[in-house]
Amino acid sequence: MKRYFDPAKDPFYSMYNVAPYTFAPYKVVWREQASMFTVAVVSSKENKVIVPDHKLMLVPFEDEQEAHFVCGALASSIAQLVVKSYVVSVSTSTHVLQHIAVPQFDASNPTHTHLAALSQQAHRLAAGQDLPGLRDLAGLEAQVDEAAAELWEITDRELMEIRRSLEELG
């Protein structure tokens, strides 16, 4: 997109690169600068659209289940290791999607819908809306890893090595 800012006549508080994707009802987001690649689904709240700033990467979605599927895949240890293997923590841009092959969401695929459901459940736990609470989040994250491993046809042994490698990398 082009910027049409003219400092001689335009206000400094202009917004750039605003397009229809900006107003999508669901967005998978992550911070450009962070020590750990953390993804989340954000959505419109009380008819108010959430507009991320320039330091938050986003992938727009019209469908909540599809957004949670992509979020679950990107939140997995598998994706975490891929990102950690090549990204400098101060520059985690949208290029992540060029290195992690998340398949097109298929609502008739049980692996896809299971991963989406796990992501939705993790979001509820993280928000404190689903008791018994955050202590269950680690177990849920393990289930996300297992569903993502199934998605990418990664064996249990390979998943164990991925987790070990992530732990070593800190």
Q: pLDDT by residue (tens digit) across 110-153?
A: 999 999 999 999 998 888 755 566 678 888 999 999 999 999 99
In the numeric block, the tokens 């390979």 are attached to 158
Q: Which pLDDT score is estimated for 10?
A: 77
Asked if residue 132 has a cis previous peptide bond (ω within 30° of 0), the answer is yes
The mean pLDDT value for 8-17 works out to 74
Select from 142, 139, 141, 160 the least CA-distant residue to 39: 141
90 pLDDT band (50/70/90 cuts)? low
pTM: 0.86
| Sheet containing 56-61: order of strands | 39-43, 26-31, 56-61
Exposed, middle or buried by CB within 10 Å (0-12, 13-18, 19+), for 131?
exposed
Tokens of 62: 């019209």
d(CA 30, CA 58): 7
Q: Which pLDDT score is estimated for 15?
A: 67
Q: What DSSP assignment string belongs to the chain? A: ------TTTS-TT---S--GGGG-SEEEEEESS-SS--EEEEE-BTTB-----TTEEEEEES-HHHHHHHHHHHHSHHHHHHHHHH--TT---TTHHHHS-PPPP-TT-HHHHHHHHHHHHHHHHHTT-STT-GGGHHHHHHHHHHHHHHHTT--HHHHHHHHHHHHHH-
Q: Which pLDDT score is estimated for 134?
A: 65
Q: Which pLDDT score is estimated for 165?
A: 96
